[in-house]
Amino acid sequence: MARRNKQPIKAALLAALLCLSAAAQPQTITGKVVAVADGDTLTVLDANNRQHKIRLDGIDAPESSQDFGSRAKQSLSDLVFGKTVTVISSKKDRYGRTLGKVTIDGRDINLEQI
């Protein structure tokens, strides 16, 4: 039986593992909150003037048109609008928004919004 060179297979497996581990690494975004869409979604402008749409992980606030939706949006606005936040995230939702934990000076905004 002929021996096959296993180097290409090993290299491909290593490359796949590196890609998977890089994708799972937490991402940190720091910037100013420039918009609040509703009670669980905001927009952060980073130092490179790049906008990031952030959805607070672990929270499902009412939409603006639903009961208490405007109060939820106002609550989040009072907490973060115009302030510098840090977002720690390792995934995106089905709409392409970054899911993350938002903090200001160590305060957990996700928890406060609940």
DSSP state of 107: E
Is 52 inside a domain boundary? yes
Identify whether 97 is a catalytic site residue: yes
Catalytic residue chosen out of the listed positions 4, 50, 94, 97: 97
For residue 78, the domain's CATH number is 2.40.50.90
In-domain check, residue 101 = yes
Picking from 71, 69, 31, 38, the residue whose alpha carbon sits closest to that of residue 52 is: 31
Residue 42 lies inside a defined structural domain of this protein: yes
- Distances, alpha carbon 106 to alpha carbons 2, 22, 56, 103, in Å: 61, 25, 16, 6
> What pLDDT was estimated at residue 15?
67
Among the listed residues 3, 4, 50, 55, the single catalytic one is 55
pLDDT of residue 63: 87
Q: Is residue 40 part of a domain?
A: yes
Query: Please, are residues 33 and 104 in contact by the beta-carbon 8 Å criterion?
Result: no
63 an active-site residue?
yes
CB 32 within 8 A of CB 43: no
Count of the separate structural domains present in the chain = 1
- Reported as a single tens digit per residue, the pLDDT across 57-108 is 999 999 888 999 999 999 999 999 999 999 999 899 999 999 999 999 999 9
What range does the domain containing 87 cover? 26-113
- Residue 7 resides in a domain: no
**Residue 86 covered by a domain:** yes
Write the pLDDT tens digit of every residue in 18-33. 655 555 678 999 999 9
